[in-house]
Amino acid sequence: MEKIIDSLKMKHPILLQGAMDSEICHLLHSLDKYHEEDLFGFSFFIGTYQSYPVIVSKTYQGMTNAAASTMLAIEHYSPALIINQGICGGHSPLLHRGDILLGKEIMNYSNLKIGMTDCSNPLRGCETIGCEVFSPASPATSAKKATCFYSHPALLAIAQNCPHPVATGHIITGKIASADAWMDRKDLISLMNKTFGTCGEDMETASVAQLCHCFGIPFLSIRMLSNTRVYDEEYDETVAETLQEFTMKIVDEIQLTIAAD
């Protein structure tokens, strides 16, 4: 946490990401003031929250868009930390629509070796093969493979201590799976949950987490269930506003941490 506090004291901005308008509108309303900057078609809303610099980034949907937006933010704004938040689909039987999933672990579920199988389920026999990750300070030849990425423990602890904005809502910490896909089959969802321990899925988090890992930027993943095929609960995009309220509570707690240091 010491590195994060030092960076925040130097007024490096907090970067908040959402893929869709519905995932950033409440964040923008929470800012004291802001102006929009366009970088190669990606929108960054540069503002302040309680006098601290905060940037809200619309990444657009999908792994490539999220990666491109994140890379632009890292290069142009040098954020102290990145919080990627938005809605997701459920994998865990513990979660219902409107519940919050804190992504302690994040995996790219398109990064699999799909082995030979004599059954109809194409995921049976799958194994993770890992993504090559690099460090800008090291030659590309030193890249190693990683099968999972992680939220920063200190940021995760802050999120775990924040209450759900809705009294009946639940919060769990678990694994998020990301890919340019929408898994809507109960058998595949169940196998992902049982094989890889996934609790929910989205289309952005893993690419952001991978870049934060490469560049040593503290990262936090937060998702709220918009739907879950586990219980046949249909898609509801409006839950995104509640999650943004929760996200701003985390920003409040981060600011209190700075003030207390």
H and E: helices and strands count for the chain: 7, 14
Give me the mean pLDDT over the 30-54 stretch. Answer: 97
Confidence of residue 5 (pLDDT cuts 50, 70, 90): confident
Q: Is residue 236 part of a domain?
A: yes
Instruction: List the single range of 38-52, 134-148, 218-232 with lowest mean pLDDT.
Output: 134-148
- Across the chain, what does the average pLDDT equal? 92
Give me the mean pLDDT over the 72-98 stretch. Answer: 98
Q: Is residue 110 part of a domain?
A: yes
Q: Is residue 68 part of a domain?
A: no
In angstroms, the Cα distances linking 19 to 16, 66, 88, 172, 212 are: 10, 8, 11, 22, 17
CATH code, 90: 3.40.50.1580
Range of the domain at 120: 2-9+86-255
Contact assessment for residue 62 and residue 180, using Cβ atoms and an 8 Å cutoff: yes
Q: Is residue 45 part of a domain?
A: no
pLDDT recorded at residue 124 = 65
Q: Is residue 123 part of a domain?
A: yes
Q: Is residue 15 part of a domain?
A: no
Q: What is the pTM of this model?
A: 0.93
Q: Is residue 75 part of a domain?
A: no
Greatest Cα pair distance in the chain: 60
In total, how many domains does the chain have?
1
Give me the mean pLDDT over the 197-209 stretch. Answer: 98
d(Cα 236, Cα 208) in Å, to the nearest integer? 24
Q: Is residue 222 part of a domain?
A: yes
